[in-house]
Amino acid sequence: MNITIRLGTENDIDELEQLYNNLNDHLAATTNYPGWKKGIYPARKDAEAGISEGCLYVSVSSNKIIGSIILRHKPEPAYLPVKWMKDLSYDQVLVIYTLVVHPDYLGKGIGCELLNFASRLGEQSTNKSLRLDVYENNLPAICLYEKCGFQYIDTVDLGLAEYNLHWFKLYEKLL
66 in a domain, yes or no?
yes
Cα(10)–Cα(72) distance, integer angstroms? 18
Distance CA 59, CA 64 (A): 8
Residue 22 is part of a domain; what is its CATH number? 3.40.630.30
Do the domain assignments include residue 8? yes
Query: DSSP strand E in the chain: where?
Result: 4-7, 56-61, 64-72, 93-101, 129-135, 151-156, 168-174
User: Residue 141 domain-assigned?
Assistant: no
CB atoms within 10 A of CB 89: 8
- Predicted TM-score (pTM) of the model is 0.96
152 falls within a domain: no
| pLDDT tens figures, 32-42 | 999 999 999 99
How much is the average pLDDT of 39-56? 98
Structural domain contains residue 140: no
User: Is 44 within the bounds of a domain?
Assistant: yes
Residue 141's H or E segment, with its range, is: helix 139-147
**Residue 67 resides in a domain:** yes
Q: How many CB atoms lie under 10 A from the CB of residue 48?
A: 15
* Domain residue limits at 90: 4-128
Per residue in 108-163, pLDDT tens? Answer: 999 999 999 999 999 999 899 999 999 999 999 999 999 999 999 999 999 999 99
Q: pLDDT band at 14, cuts 50/70/90?
A: very high
Among 15, 21, 3, CA closest to 110 = 3
Q: How many domains does the chain have?
A: 1
Q: What is the pLDDT of residue 1?
A: 84
- CA distances for 96 relative to 26, 116, 131, angstroms: 22, 12, 6
Residues 60 and 66 sit within 8 Å (Cβ to Cβ) = yes
Contacts of 89 (CB under 8 A, 6+ apart): none
Residue 26 belongs to some domain of the structure: yes
